[in-house]
Amino acid sequence: MFATARIRASLVTVAMAAVSICALPPTPATASTASAADRAYVRLLARADPRSTVKATAWAALISSNVDAAIARFFASDFDYAVRRAAQAKVRNADFARRVLETHTAEFAPEVHAAAEAAYYGTAAQQEYFARTGYAEAKERDRQAREAAGAQAAALAQADRDFVALLRDHDPGEQVRAAATFASRPAATDADLVDFFAHDWVNASALDLEAFRINCADADVRRRAQAVRLVADARAAEQAARDTAGEAAEQARAAAARAWATAGAHTGPARVAWARAEQHAEAQAANWRQVAQAAGSATGINWEAIAGAAGTTAETWAAERQNAAEQAAYWENLYAEALAGELAMSGGAR
């Protein structure tokens, strides 16, 4: 088995250490680079957002005959509409079946995998049944099969229990902590621990990733919609001030400076949010690298399920960290443009 003390120290360090976030040098964003950044962000949502309706709406914007207009509409209204549709039971059920299919493998949860596959490719009624009772029934069938075989329960070691307790106390993911808490509660049985290793751990980590992506997108898309308006207003006010002569010029420049100040202030919450997102994603990536190392060192059969997913999950969180850094840079660039515009219109004084 792996060295529990070494892994304990590593996981505690990952979970509690502060991650330094190095800000990219701010450069003023132009209209063309902002448009490219917006396209890239919509493409990211089309690829990675957990909600099928958001994905479809983002792809529709990207393949529109007028992409710039479609992306502007996506930020202004289409995203909110897609989010509302994602909350509908029919869509939720289909998305649930998809996630279960992805996180419960045929090797380690054959009954759940088969039921999820049938639901995902089935009718709305089948998906509703699966979400309501079919998933729980399939999980029970898998549990009974594992208990009848007995091999996974027999392979449990104290080091495995210690590691689950470690996840309960220090994992950066709320859902993983909750799953580990359930599996290590005082009334927990060996079957609960086997279930945790077989599928609950992977499923909980997928829920943590989904929550991260949804929370980031829901906040950022709405901020971007307002930022587009504020920056457009400030650019127009600055151009109007440059075109104004005489006594009205001073008032026009003051109005433009205020518009840029408003746009700059609007970037503050987004810059803070993405810095925190980058820190969280880095903590998750480091955590899953430690899990992959632990799984690679473990000899018990219960670790086989997580061993196949840990490395990929670490890479996914590393990609999320890179994306967060890119979004932080986007907002830093907008802030730099706003600050430069405010200073230019106010004569260099704030």
pLDDT tens figures, 162-180: 999 999 999 999 999 999 9
Nearby residues of 117 by Cβ (< 8 Å), 6 or more positions away: 101
Residue 5: pLDDT over 90: no
Q: What does the pLDDT look like over 57-116, one tens digit per residue?
A: 999 999 999 999 999 999 999 999 999 999 999 999 999 999 999 999 999 999 999 999
The residue extents of the domains of the chain are 4-14+24-80+209-345, 88-149
Q: 79: closest CA among 99, 43, 96, 55?
A: 55
**The dihedral of CA 48, 81, 35, 336: what is its sign?**
negative
Q: What is the pTM of this model?
A: 0.86
Spatial separation of the C-alpha atoms in residues 103 and 113, rounded to whole Å: 8
Spatial separation of the C-alpha atoms in residues 349 and 110, rounded to whole Å: 67
